[in-house]
Every structure is written in C-alpha cells, then in structure tokens.
Amino acid sequence: MLDGEDTGADTTEAGSAAAGTSLVGGAPAATEGDPQTPPVEGQPPETDEARAAREAEEARAAETPEQKAEREAKEALTADAPEAYGDFTVPEGIELDGTVTEELKALGKDANWSQARTQQVVDLGAKLAQSIVTKQQEGFAALRETWANEAKADPEYGGAKLQESLGHAAQFRDAYGTPKLTELLNESGLGDHPEVVRLFARAGKAISDAKFVNPGKTAAERTPGSGFYSNSKMKD
C-alpha cells in the first residue's frame, strides 16, 4: 500500500469476516427443495403438503422389494371400494354361494371396502367354515369310535364272539346287499353302530344254516351250506 492509498478491496481476514462470508468456505451451496433455501424467484415457497409428498416419494424410491410389497398391500386395504368387485378366491373344496357373494359385495360398497379388504372378509369366512367342518369331523370320528367300542363289548356278539359275528354280518351284507350298501356303511359310519352290527350279525347267522339262499346265485350254486365267500370253510 502507498501512503494509505485505498485500493477499494479489503483482502484481510477481518475484512472477510466483516463481509459475513469467506472467499471459499462460505455458506453451503443451496440445494433444490431445501426448506432453508429461499424459493426461486417467481415461485411460491414449498407448502407442508408438498414437502410431505416429496418426502414420501423419496422414501418410496429408497424401499427394498419387501418394503414395497408391504406398503402396496396396506394401500390396497385402505383404498376405496371399486366400481365393481372382481372374483374372490377361496381355498380348494369351498364354493362361494352366489347369493351370499352378492350380499357381501353390497356390504362392501356400503362400507367403502376395497377389493383387498373385502377379500379379507371372504378369507375369514372360509376359515370359519373350515373350522366348523373340522370340529364336526372330529366329533363324528369320536362318536364312531364310541360305537365301535360298544359293539366290541356287546354281550351278545362281542368279546370272544366278535370275529365270528362280524363274519356273519359280512356274509349277510354281501349276500343281500350291493357294493353301494358297503360304501354307505363305511362312509356314514353306520357300519360301526352296535345295533347295525347286531342286525347284520343275526341275519348272517340265520342264513349260515342254508335256510336262506343268495338271490344273486344260480340254482346250481344254491347248495346248502355253501356260504357266500369263495374261501368259506362251511360244509354241507
């Protein structure tokens, strides 16, 4: 400097401090969308709603596939009811009643349930139906076991006489019944009922002495004491 001549520029540290910034290390560069950044001239400042939408979009962009699937599933549940519901899915073995389905769709419309939310109701109904069927099956299985135990212990044909009695019962069943009767006895469980076993055992014993003949046999085959099984050990 010559004789205190003012050059018009203060390059000292104090001068920079007085100016409020440094030449290089001043305030951070402004980033677009930064709430601290003044709005671009001519544009309004970012609203809270716009900022929330922007942040949500940024969060979605950073999601993993699993997080995306979870978010979309939640959004599907909270969506509005569609103009028309699509088909609902049910487990194999269950069929939706048409009338009930229409009632469910009307209920969904009134409640403004989305397709996904209404499907949840269908899933719950199917689960309840399966639970009822399972309870019924378990209860009937227990009943059949009770019947069978009572038959095995019956003083007339059970105990030591059980196998012989069941042989008589099967003899009568096969002689006068059909395969469909056997299927009915097995599927319904009636073949385990003590009184059904009693009836068939008595009838089989009665025909075992050849007083009755098999209506399905020819005259030549209706020989006394021939029995009704190919492996019969009965003699004339």
Reply yes or no on whether the pLDDT at 108 is more than 60: yes
pTM over 0.75: no
More confident residue, 228 or 218: 218
The answer to whether residue 19 is domain-embedded is no
133 and 183 inside one domain: no
The answer to whether residue 49 is domain-embedded is no
Sign of CA dihedral 115, 121, 122, 127: positive
81 and 108 inside one domain: yes
Q: What is the mean pLDDT of the chain?
A: 77
Token pair for residue 28?
């951070």
Cα 166-168-171 angle, rounded to 5 deg? 110
182 and 206 inside one domain: yes
The answer to whether residue 126 is domain-embedded is yes
Burial class (CB in 10 A: 0-12, 13-18, 19+), 190: middle
Burial class (CB in 10 A: 0-12, 13-18, 19+), 43: exposed
181 and 210 inside one domain: yes
Chain position carrying tokens 């469909």:
180
Task: Determine the Cα–Cα distance for residues 16 and 9; give it in Å rounded to an integer.
Answer: 10
Contact 226, 234 (CB under 8 A): yes
The answer to whether residue 216 is domain-embedded is yes
The answer to whether residue 117 is domain-embedded is yes
Token pair for residue 115?
């397709």
The answer to whether residue 6 is domain-embedded is no
Give, as one character, the DSSP assignment of residue 161.
Answer: G
168 and 108 inside one domain: no
69 and 134 inside one domain: yes
What's the pLDDT tens digit per position in 42-75?
Answer: 677 888 887 787 777 777 777 688 877 777 777 7
Domain final residue, candidates 141, 165, 181: 141
Reply yes or no on whether the pLDDT at 203 is more than 90: yes
What's the pLDDT tens digit per position in 2-39?
Answer: 455 555 555 554 454 445 554 455 555 555 555 555 56
Cα 168-170-176 angle, rounded to 5 deg? 100
Confidence of residue 114 (pLDDT cuts 50, 70, 90): very high
Cα 163-167-169 angle, rounded to 5 deg? 115
Task: Determine the Cα–Cα distance for residues 201 and 40; give it in Å rounded to an integer.
Answer: 100
Task: Determine the Cα–Cα distance for residues 26 and 153; give it in Å rounded to an integer.
Answer: 101
> What average pLDDT score do residues 71-100 get?
86
The answer to whether residue 87 is domain-embedded is yes
159 and 137 inside one domain: no
Domain final residue, candidates 83, 112, 141: 141
134 and 170 inside one domain: no
Token pair for residue 101?
């389905």
129 and 171 inside one domain: no
Can you say how many angstroms the Cα of residue 176 is from the centroid of all Cα atoms in its chain?
45
Query: What total of structural domains would you count in the chain?
Result: 2
133 and 75 inside one domain: yes
Range of the domain at 135: 62-141
The answer to whether residue 17 is domain-embedded is no
Cα 94-97-103 angle, rounded to 5 deg? 130
71 and 137 inside one domain: yes
More confident residue, 38 or 114: 114
